[in-house]
Amino acid sequence: MKTHEIRERFTQHFVNSGHEAVPSASLILDDPNLLFVNAGMVPFKPYFLGQQNPPFPNGLATSIQKCVRTLDIEEVGITTRHNTFFQMAGNFSFGQYFKEGAIENAWALLTNSVDEGGFGLDPDRLWVTVYLDDDEAAKIWNEKIGVPKERIQRMGMEDNYWSMGVPGPCGPCSEIYYDRGPEYGVEGGPEADDNRYMEIWNLVFMQNIRGEGNGKGDFELLGELPKKNIDTGLGIERVACILQGVDNVYETDLLAPVIAEAEKVTGATYEDPEDERINDVRFRVIADHSRTAMMLILDGVTPSNEGRGYILRRLVRRIIRSARLLGAQAEVLERFMNTIMDTMELSYPEIAQNRERILRVALNEEKSFLKTLESGTHRFDEVAAAAKTEGKTVVRGQEAFELHDTYGFPIDLTLEMAAEAGLEVDMDSFNAAMTEQRERAKADNRAKKHGHADESLYREWVDNQPTVFTGYEELASDAKVIGLVRDGEKVTSAGAGEQVEVILDHSPLYAESGGQMADRGRIFTGDTVLDVQDVQKIGKKLWVHKATVASGGLDLGSQVTAEVDQKWRHGATQAHTATHLIHAALREVLGPTAVQAGSLNRPGYLRFDFNFTEQLSDAQLEEIALIANQAVDADFAVNTIETSLEEAKAMGAMALFGENYGHDVRVVEIGGPFSIELCGGTHVSHSSQIGPISVLGESSVGSGARRIEAYSGMDAFRYYSKEAALIDAVSKDLKVPSDDLPGRIASLTEKLKQAEKEIAKLHQAQLQAKSAEFVAQAQDINGFKVLTLNLPNGVAANDLRTLATDLRNRLSNDDAIVVLASENDGKLPFIAAATKSAVARGVKSGDVVKLFGGYVDGRGGGKPDMAQGAGSNAGGIEQGFAAVRDFAETL
């Protein structure tokens, strides 16, 4: 019975008995306690809690709710019944029927024949559990339904008592299990083996009110509900598993097609589920996560680094990495997503209208992650190899933090890869590094935004003596010290060496705003000099100068001069105006949807974030750089206009990301219609004063957001000079003109690849030439030919496999076991092979590999006739060989 038919039968069964069919709610509900809907009753919570009256005329409802649970995501594929996305079928009674009605409805659907609209399950294979003292439910099951007492088991509060985890309705449960047979485990019912006895339906009898408490069982029962309710949940995937006669939920009609597609994409084979090979888990991860990711995107989730978006991102990354580990070389998500959409569309017709969007979101995330995976995996391999070379089994937390911070590698991915390499991660030191980073960020933010002090401290100045900014007209201004703050307290003076916040009535120094960093400069009078490192705004009106007293001392009320560092200001204005040009060029190349999403500019450097879903091509980047530099060459006048917000919008001025504007605004216009934006920053007076703009590249900074980075002015010149010097040096080394470098480098690269192939062939030929010599070294042990070789000169894993195949073939007339190992650049690949007759006598190469791997700090696996692995402890090779010979003695 196909899954869609199971859904239809469930719904029709309860509609026929007076329930109103309620469509599934979105996976995303406005519930601060839930990332996703994780149970069928979640959309009905307001009715169970008494917050709303149920809108169903008969007080009865039924639904098949989309659910996602990801707390135990690592269990996916390992257990036979765990999915991250699942469909929970339920029937609900609000003050109508209670235990007897719920039990009778469930039993009828499960055991009625297919012709009668039921699932046709054998009643003798159904077991039930009830809460410890729920004699009423036990009596109904036994006397009304006819379930023998020996198939009714009582369980405690942890298993058979339900609540929402907060004060409110609660009650005992009765769960229905299906006995899958002795091949799945021991006899004795659910309490003996919950793998053999698969839970398919949970009937919750809401009859009590719970109080405060922790956990599933640590709470007080306050009394009975005035109206008793029923909430049930049947797992559609689990029932499909049983009715379709498959061993696990990954092989049902919804997910099996994805596994089949993954076999085509990867070239690997999905083995017998009982084999417990890690490949099976990877296939199941691909199938399960493809469906969950598709359903999340369907309901509006997009990848990001937090919350729901992070869950989606993690699922997608696990799909991609699992496919890579199975042998996939190219992008895979389009094929997986199309397959799962085909299988799910019958039950969820809305997929058809959203196919293009789902694919676009998934494929953009895949392209982004493949870059991260390549660089991060390479770095992880280096870290893992170094740890094993040093004889360690733990990856240092600082290295895991580097992978996270520098390479964008999520810690869960590092943990997975470490486990596969036989390593652990020092999570204590990783968490310490993460905490330290967060504290640094918080401290920096407090220092800049004055979070360390109550802003009411500055309220008097904000309201009565706001700073007059003079920096648009001049770089030095006379001013009066109207406030001094040190360590969050008002002071009347500051001495040499002290750090102090200085508040002036006038200031030419620009306070950080709109992406432009604050000016550097100085405050001085007589022998007193203060170096200004930062300037921040309080309440948009007060300039607070963070300064260090370099000499002399400063008193409240002093008359001083505040002066901007001219070199700093010049570089800052170049970069800020260049940011406007880049923005205009972006919109010209990419269209009006490429709008600003954040920026930062400091002297000589800018970064510009913009909303766009696709990576920019080299041609697009070149065009953006060309347009921006053409605007520089055009020597456009940079005009500033003070006007009302309404007038500015009428002029077509663009507002910047994250800015809140008052009634009066400042418009910066460059080259007439070329660029016109609302902006309070400082700028050059003509675009030619920017100097060259060198676009360094672009990257992703989140789902649907890209970032361009560039140098301006002398920094751009220095960058170009460095690049030119590098090209000149390479040109001289290769003795070709610079224009011919691309062709020359491509030619050399191709020759290098060919040379590496020839060397590999030569290496293999040399090894095979010695095959006869190697075969002669085989030892006779217990009727077996056992050949163990520690090959010198760093033989690679592929060469080991070729040689092992050749040696096995040469020994094919014997019961032979071949084990080869070779230390190679800190790595230790090893391989085991067995002839057909040796396999017939009980030899499994996978067992041999595991035995040998234990002596060289390695692991591996494979088929009975050949298996391979990798280790790190070359000192254990001979002990490992001895263990293999001892193993042959026992066969």
580 is in an annotated binding site: yes
Q: How far is CA 851 from CA 24, 349, 856, 859, in A?
A: 52, 52, 10, 9
All residues at 6 or more sequence positions from 363 whose CB lies less than 8 Å from its CB, including other chains: 331, 333, 334
SS3 labels along 784-806: EEEEEEECCCCCCHHHHHHHHHH
- How far apart CA 161 and CA 130 sit, in angstroms, is 9
Asked if residue 122 lies in contact with residue 102, where contact means CB atoms within 8 angstroms, the answer is: no
Compute how many other C-beta atoms are within 10 angstroms of the C-beta atom of residue 90: 27
Q: Which residues of 31-47 are buried (b: 16+ CB within 10 A; e: fewer)?
A: eeeebbbbbbbbbbbeb
Residue 145 DSSP label: I
- How far apart CA 160 and CA 129 sit, in angstroms, is 8
- How far apart CA 201 and CA 119 sit, in angstroms, is 13
Spatial strand order of the sheet with 705-712 comes to 596-602, 605-611, 705-712, 693-702
The long-range contacts involving 446-450, CB below 8 angstroms and separated by at least 24 positions, are 447/534, 447/546, 448/512, 448/534, 448/536, 449/536, 450/536, 450/538, 450/544
Asked if residue 796 lies in contact with residue 830, where contact means CB atoms within 8 angstroms, the answer is: no
What are the phi and psi torsion angles at 635 (to 5°)? 55, 45
576 is in an annotated binding site: yes
Nearest to 114 by CA among 196, 256, 2, 18: 2
Q: For the packed helices 333-344 and 256-266, what is the interaxial angle rounded to 10 degrees?
A: 160
Residue 361 DSSP label: H
Nearest to 295 by CA among 37, 503, 561: 37
Nearest to 174 by CA among 189, 188, 160, 191: 160
- How far apart CA 122 and CA 243 sit, in angstroms, is 11
All residues at 6 or more sequence positions from 548 whose CB lies less than 8 Å from its CB, including other chains: 497, 498, 499, 500, 530, 531, 533
Q: Which residue carries 């301006």 as its tokens? A: 712
What are the phi and psi torsion angles at 805 (to 5°)? -65, -45
Q: Which residues are annotated as a binding site for Zn(2+)?
A: 576, 580, 679, 683
Residue ranges for the binding site?
576, 580, 679, 683
